[in-house]
A and B are shown apart, each in its own frame.
Chain A
Amino acid sequence: EVQLQESGPGLVKPSQSLSLTCSVTGYSITSNYWGWIRKFPGNKMEWMGYISYSGSTSYNPSLKSRISITRDTSKNQFFLQLNSVTTEDTATYYCARSPRRVGPDYWGQGVMVTVSS
């Protein structure tokens, strides 16, 4: 069974970088597409970007200057880095497998990240 698990610090200071890891079991990240999604307080959700089976990436234009998604295929993990965070980046962050033309089918449980000094 495909399983995803997010990990990372729950508190980040404004202007610093947010770094999260998604650990995948039961499926290789060298296949398919893998995305990051966040849910803000108040429940609005945002698709942040994804990394493909080949390592190519695509990012939400609203984040393009601040976001980076990378991977370590030897550990079957992919990563989110979001730079210059503000309090508006406070959210629950999810990783998901997202087959092309199907959308996210397996999700992690999410990790809550608060941006505060």
Chain B
Amino acid sequence: DIQMTQSPSLLSASVGDRVTINCKASQNINKYLNWYQQKLGEAPKLLIYNTNNLQTGIPSRFSGSGSGTDYTLTISSLQPEDFGTYFCFQHNSWPTFGAGTKLELK
């Protein structure tokens, strides 16, 4: 299985901040990397698919980049509704997940 190492596990930030979350795969995943947001008790929400494709309805302050084994989610200007948990997901081969990043208010 491909291992996904996600960092940081906890991120404290303020409204308006630019934040980045990283995922590193144990081998090349050919840009088959998605980012999700989850809030307590809710279904995960797809933000970005295949590295840099913004899912319909997701604000443009979310963006993704990367290639090979290293991928990044960027939120350009944090909004109050962005706090929650984020996780990455690779589907180049049998799907696996990152461990998650909890984004909290500083």
Residue positions of A touching B, CB distance < 8 A:
4, 43-47, 60-61, 94, 101-110
Contacts and interface: CB of A to CB of B under 8 A. Distances in A.
Interface of chain A, main secondary structure: loop
Contacts of B64: none
Contacts of B11: none
Interface of chain B, main secondary structure: loop
A104 B32 contact: no
A94 B87 CA distance: 15
Interface of B: 32, 34, 41-46, 49-50, 55, 85, 87, 89, 91, 94-97, 99-100
B43 A101 contact: no
Enumerate the 5 nearest inter-chain pairs by beta-carbon distance, A residue then B residue, closest first.
A45-B97, A47-B95, A107-B43, A103-B91, A103-B34
Given A43-B99, A45-B97, A60-B94, A102 B43 contact: no
Contact of A45 (B43, B46, B87): B87
Contacts of A47: 94-97
B95 A103 contact: yes
A105 B46 contact: yes
B42 A109 contact: yes
